[in-house]
Amino acid sequence: MSPMPDSRASWRSLATGIAKIALGVGLLLLLWHRGLVDPVRLSKALTLHPGLCLAAFALQGAVLASMGLRWRILSRPSGLFLAKWEAVRLTLVSLALSTCLPGNAAGDLAKGWILTRRGVPFAKTLGTMAVDRWTGITGLFLSWTFWTAVLVTVDPRTRAMGSILLAVAAAGSMACLLVCLYGHAMIRYIPVPSGNHPWKAKMLGAIRAVLDTAASSGADRGAILTGVAFSFVSQQMMVGIGWCGAHVVDIPASIPEIGALLPATMIANSLPLSPGGVGVGETVGALGFSRLGYPAWTGSETLLLVRLASVSWAVPGLVAWLASRPPKAATA
C-alpha cells in the first residue's frame, strides 16, 4: 500500500505561502506608512516622464528576449532544441505566472509542463533551467563587481561601503565562474540514494536525470561562456532600467551608482521571503540610496518602478501562455 500524503506538510506549505504574502504586503504598507512609497507622488512622476517609462518598458522586453535566447543556447548541448521565438515566448510565460502566482518556481513549472505535453521529459527541462539560472547569477555578480569597482574609483565618498560590496561581489563572481566552468564534472559524482518505495525511487530517478542534464549542458564550455555573456549584457540593460527609474523620481543617480546597488536588491528579491521579493527589494533599495546621500524614499520608489517595468510584461506573457497551451492528448 502506498503511503498516505502527509496532511501536515500540506498545511505547512499553505501556511508558508500565506506568511510570505503577508510579509510582502506588510513591508509595502510599512514603506507607505513611513513615506518611503507614495502612490500619488509616484503616479505624478510617471505622467511627467512618459519617455523614460517607455524606455524602461522596452529595455525590460529586451532583457526577457535575451533571457529566452540564453536558455535556448544552454539547452542545445543536452538535446533540448527550442525554436528561437519559442524560447522567448516560454520566458514570457514564466514571468507572467511567477508574477501572478505565489511561489518563485511557478514560472519554471509552467515551462516544464508545456514542454512535457510536447514530449520533452520534465527532468530535462528542469536541468537546462538550472544551468540557465546559474549563468544568470554569474552575469549578475560580474556586473555587480564591474560597476562597484567603477563607483569606488570615481567617487571617493563611496569607498567605505563600496569596498565591502566589491569584496562580496568579487568573491561571488569567482565562485560562480568556477561552478560554471567545472560544476559539470562535480555533478556526475553527486550520489543519489536508492528509494525503498516505488514513488521514492521514481522521484530519486528524476533527480538523477535533472543532474545528468545539467552536467551535459555544463560540459559545453562554449555554450556556458556565451550564456554568461548574454547574462552580463542583460544586466547592463537592467542598469539602464534602474537609471530610468531613478530619473523618473528626479534624482541624479549615476550609472555606476545604479550598477553597484541594483544587483544587491535583485539578490534580496530572490530570497524566498515574499512572492517575487515584493517589499524586500524596495526596503534594501531605500537603505542603499540613503547610504549614497539620496532620500530613502527615492530608493524604494526607484526599485518599485524597476519592478513595475517587469510586471508590465506579465500581460503579454499571459497572452503567450494561452497561445502556448498545447491541445490535450487524445485518449484511446
HEC string for 192-239: CCCCCCHHHHHHHHHHHHHHHHHHHHHCCHHHHHHHHHHHHHHHHHHH
Q: Where are the domains of the chain?
A: 35-324
Indicate whether 108 pLDDT > 70: yes
Segment 14-28 shows an average pLDDT of 66
- How confident is the model over 110-164, as pLDDT tens digits? 888 888 888 888 888 888 888 899 999 999 999 999 999 999 999 888 888 888 8
- How confident is the model over 250-270, as pLDDT tens digits? 888 999 999 999 998 888 877
**Residue 125 to residue 76: CA distance in whole angstroms:** 11
Indicate whether 329 pLDDT > 60: no
pLDDT of residue 180: 87
Indicate whether 299 pLDDT > 90: no
**The dihedral of CA 36, 39, 44, 48: what is its sign?**
positive
pLDDT of residue 17: 60
Among 153-162, 277-286, 321-330, the least confident range: 321-330
**Residue 110 to residue 67: CA distance in whole angstroms:** 16
Nearest partner of 106 among 291, 276, 325, judged by Cα: 276
Q: What percent of the chain has pLDDT over 70?
A: 77
- How confident is the model over 58-70, as pLDDT tens digits? 999 999 999 999 9
DSSP string for 35-91: TS--HHHHHHHHHH-HHHHHHHHHHHHHHHHHHHHHHHHHHGGGT----HHHHHHHH
**Residue 265 to residue 303: CA distance in whole angstroms:** 8
pLDDT of residue 159: 85
Segment 281-295 shows an average pLDDT of 86
More confident site: 246 or 212: 246
Q: Which residues lie closer than 8 Å to 59 by C-beta, 6 or more apart?
A: 237, 238, 240, 241, 244, 309
Model's pTM, two decimal places? Answer: 0.83
C-alpha cell at position 105: 518556481
What is the residue-averaged pLDDT of the chain? 82
Distances (CA, A) of 278 to 22, 121, 287: 10, 32, 15
- Per DSSP, 156 falls in state G
User: CA neighbours within 13 Å on the CB side: how many for 208?
Assistant: 12
- How confident is the model over 186-198, as pLDDT tens digits? 766 666 655 566 6
Amino acid occupying residue 244? C
Q: Residue 257 class from Cβ within 10 Å (0-12 exposed, 13-18 middle, 19+ buried)? A: buried
Indicate whether 5 pLDDT > 50: no
Amino acid occupying residue 178? L
pLDDT of residue 23: 65
**Residue 316 to residue 309: CA distance in whole angstroms:** 13
Amino acid occupying residue 128? T
